[in-house]
Structure 1
Amino acid sequence: LGGSPIFALIVVGVAFIAIVAKAGERFNPTLIYRLSLPIMVAGYVAITLLFDSHAAISLLIINVGYEFFDILTWVLFVDASRRRNENALYIFGLGVAFMFCGMALGNAASHIVDALVAGGNLQANVVAMAAILCLVVVAFLVLPEGTVAQLSRREGHAERGEGRTGRSGATSEGQAEDSDSTSEENGHAGATADHLERHCAAVARDFGLTPRESEVIVLLAYGRTLAIIACDLHIAQGTARTHIENIYRKLDVHKQQELIDLVENHGEANKAKESSSAQ
């Protein structure tokens, strides 16, 4: 029973419903990502160590991790269809086509591997270690967690923007008024972004930040996480962490909210100083 994919699907289905019910609107796809890959790795480690005595348990662990990853792909399909404003059936159809192509290739490879294992030419633990290597490649090169988090973050901003637009449309009396309201919101958002970036530039100049640190502080002021900063700037997370630590040291702050407050206060102080000088 443990090695049955259907049983694993039932286990994951119940667990996923519980996770969504608990998280509610705070549900984040990165949580499913963090569950899926380590569970699959644990399953392959179990195959290496316990396959002869506990094969069903090993396969159950792998299948549970796979089903979590399968759910993640469906969530990303939804994100992609909303973000691109394209026909959802096209996005899902294309995604399913790629999924089945991958499954077909895996099924063909499994027949070859199965024959080699049965003939004694290949050990099951070697296959398990190769599978672990493939999962590591996926986690760090193909689909790193930062990419999943970035998709989720952008989708969240889009939904909040749609909510604001929807409320503006509900109170307007015609299509022209709704368009004007949306334009005003976009203009206000652009002005706010420009305002924040000018403040960050002033802080970078006055506190002697390097050019790269000047880029990082803007993302920090926007509330971006370490993973998102590393992904946006195409640098390693360790490098991004070093830049953040240097910025905190130069600004004498200890957390992101303190930095955001400092940027805002410093910008307002500079603005007041410029106004008094002009007078």
Structure 2
Amino acid sequence: MRWMRPQHAKGMGIMRAVKNARRTRTSFEWDLLGFGLCRAWISTVFALPIPALLTLGYDFSPWYFLPGALACVVVGIVSERTVPERARTTILLVSAALTIIGIAGTTSSIGVESEAPITISLVCTGIGAAMLQTLWGDKMAVLPSRDINLYTVASMLLAALTSILVWSATSLEAALLVFAVLPAGSFILLFRGFDSGRWSIPSKMDATEELEDGPLHLDRLCTSIFVFVFVFNLAYTTLPASPFEDMAAHPIRSVANVSVTIALLAMLLAKGNINQMSLYRLSFPVLLGALLLMLVIPDEHAVLASVLAAAGYKLFDVLFWCVLVGLAHENRAISWRVLGFGMTANFLGMGLGIGLRERAWAATASGALDPTLLVCGLMFALVVIIMLILPESVVSQIMTRSSKKQRQEEPSLAQRCSTASEMHGLTTREREVLVFLAQGRTQGVIARKLSISEGTAHTHIIHVYQKLGVHSQQELIDLVEGIAE
């Protein structure tokens, strides 16, 4: 019998991805996909859209996003001074109550000529949505760093797929049904993991271990989130002249989101993680390139630039959510500040970016504002972020801190082998052999290390294989790697 040191040969990546997918499926916390329903609910406000179906004829987005941004500021400041369990319970109850009021108010406003009822309903709904998303961030912050990436990508894939499906809701009744079902499902899945103000999901985090100086560069990160989200939403909903009536709502954006998240999910399954620095290096150039294309390509091909912009935005969306939740994970004592301020930047960018589109349309149509000047201004804002506010050196510091924390959380090889030995009833000598096998050592090396004959080492190896139920050293290594403390 021959044992080989693991090599990165052809086909090994595919086999590893399949095994990772199987392990992920068996240990996947399906409740956490409720975050995807929350994101779909927020995005489908444009795809339905309820106010347009009421034929009120005014821009509603500021009344939805800006109160939500203000609510997140309050959450970030007040919750930090309150007992975490009490703050979590209060936010959950307030969010659920405002969501119910908002949906009920929207339904009852049908046929009412006054703008006041629908405006109040949108304010309640926006605050409820912002607080619900913050709660999901708090729940995901309990997870290990690697799992945060997995559930973020999986949830955003679900949100994109759901957005495509709800685009078919053309009637008022269907739109209102979707508008109520999505948040209801998200709240139900969120509440399933809620127990007396705590999240009852497995945690590998030492709750007493906190970083001394708080999250690194939170102000820079939130400023960058605001600018990026603002630039994208203003450009995407204003430029270029599109063959679609409303590119913010068109499912082509969801198709781009699906493509990006599927690629990221495949990377996660193949490599076990995603490189957040690569997301940073891709997202800004992709959006900058899309802005250039919006100026140089003909209007009938403008959808290409829109798809490219949507892809760049989704890369940044995944990045900023993973980083924010990761910072909240590392700094549980001030996690509400991290999540609250981060969600404030996100909702503020969307509210102002989409809210200014009417004025931007009017200004460009009348000739008061040159579209080239507008695009140059947006590109300049992105360049300032890249060069001054959030350069790669700052991002690297944030990533380095997160990677150090992740390495502290991950069990060592010895711990994994100890767990496997206890699970499968290995003897003391077989435990020693298991450690060497997991390191990729050959039979001869094991015999020399343990000062035993190769025949004895061979016998121990056979027993280890039999007890663990594997047939090769690579299967043994994969089994040990899949064991968590």
TM-score, normalization by structure 1 = 0.53
Partner Cα distance (2:384, 2:336) in 1: 30
Structure 2 matches for 1:64-143, cutoff 5 A? 64-86=311-333, 88=335, 91-143=338-390
> How many residues in Structure 1 have an aligned counterpart in Structure 2?
169
Structure 2 matches for 1:114-263, cutoff 5 A? 114-163=361-410
> Match for residue 46 of structure 1?
293
Partner Cα distance (2:321, 2:313) in 1: 13
Amino acid at match of 1:47: M
Amino acid at match of 1:135: L
**Structure with more helix by fraction:** 1
Deviation of the 1:83 alpha carbon: 2.1
> Match for residue 8 of structure 1?
256
Aligned pair partner of 2:268 in 20, 28, 33: 20
Deviation string 1:184-215 (CA, Å, 9 cap, x unpaired) is: xxxxxxxxxxxxxxxxxxxxxxxxxxxxxxxx
Fraction of identical pairs, as percent = 26
Partner Cα distance (1:29, 1:19) in 2: 12
Change (3 A) 1:164 1:20: closer
- Structure 1 contact 51–58 (Cα < 8 Å) conserved: no
Q: Which has the higher contact order (CA 8 A, sep 6+)?
A: 2
Deviation string 1:195-247 (CA, Å, 9 cap, x unpaired) is: xxxxxxxxxxxxxxxxxxxxxxxxxxxxxxxxxxxxxxxxxxxxxxxxxxxxx
Deviation of the 1:91 alpha carbon: 3.5
Partner Cα distance (2:321, 2:354) in 1: 21
Amino acid at match of 1:80: L
Deviation of the 1:160 alpha carbon: 2.1
Change (3 A) 1:123 1:11: farther
Deviation of the 1:66 alpha carbon: 1.0
> Match for residue 259 of structure 1?
none
Instruction: State the Cα RMSD in Å.
Output: 2.9
Partner Cα distance (1:148, 1:8) in 2: 25
> SS of 2:299's equivalent?
coil
- Structure 1 contact 28–152 (Cα < 8 Å) conserved: no
Change (3 A) 1:48 1:93: same
Structure 2 unaligned runs (5+)?
Answer: 1-242, 419-485
Partner Cα distance (1:87, 1:15) in 2: 33
Partner Cα distance (1:64, 1:151) in 2: 23
Change (3 A) 1:141 1:117: same
Structure 1 unaligned runs (5+)?
Answer: 172-279
